Amino acid sequence: MDKALAVTARAFLCFQTKGRLLDAHLARMLTSPRQCRCCGATFAQLLSLSCDRPDICSEDMEVEDNSAVLATRGDILTDDFCRLGDLRFVRAVLAIPLPGSRGEEFLLGTWASLSRDDFDAYLDLFEMRETEKLGDRPAWLANAIPPDMPMPAGCVLEMRPEGQYPELQVTEQNHPLYPLQKDGAELEELLELLYAYGHDLPSLVFDA
């Protein structure tokens, strides 16, 4: 399995069924106990994936508590922050709607690269859970999604209230995530994306 996208241990708490009609195939998959061959996750669990660091950040760097970002200078990786030389990153969520599901989303826990000024302002507001005061900031997606995608995606980082992770909206129209985020992903597109990360659900699903 690709290192960058493992099933997140702490769910993003956004996986909601709103009690409306689901596309029949999608509905079956959402409740299916069948497990991915690579990681044992169910389809429902795979709807919330997470990268534990920006791609540029070495695997050797240990993840520290968030408090360490204020207590130290220099390069550091914490649960939600990363500082590498002049680069600054914060953890963010990238949501892809699933049209057949009426309300379900495919959630990617990713990292956003932002300016030093915005990073410092975000840090100041983070403790007070008032990051939404920053509004929308320009940012770059700091993980390659899909994994063979060399093009960095220009984004807007939308701050959200009450300590929620900010949300990335891809603004780079030539990036493959742009139409997925705008129009939503069909089930097959979603399975393709998961498969690109080594999660082998298609064969399980279509054998069934």
- Alpha helices by DSSP H, 18-84: 24-31, 43-46, 68-71
Could you tell me the smallest distance in angstroms from the CB atom of residue 174 to Zn ion?
29
Specify the residue for token string 């950040």: 57
Say if residues 48 and 12 touch (Cβ distance below 8 Å). yes
Nearer to Zn ion, 38 or 144 (CB): 38
Q: Which is nearer to Zn ion, 82 or 194 (CB)?
A: 194
Which stretches of the chain bind Zn ion, using CB under 5 A? 36, 38-39, 199
Give the largest CA-CA distance in the chain.
53
C-beta of 36: minimal distance to Zn ion in Å? 3
| Amino acid at site 83 | R
Return phi, psi of residue 112, to 5°. -115, 135
CB 199 within 8 Å of CB 48: no
Nearer to Zn ion, 10 or 20 (CB): 10
Q: How far is the CB of 99 from Zn ion (least distance, A)?
A: 24
In the complex, minimum distance from the CB of residue 191 to Zn ion, in angstroms, rounded to a whole number: 12
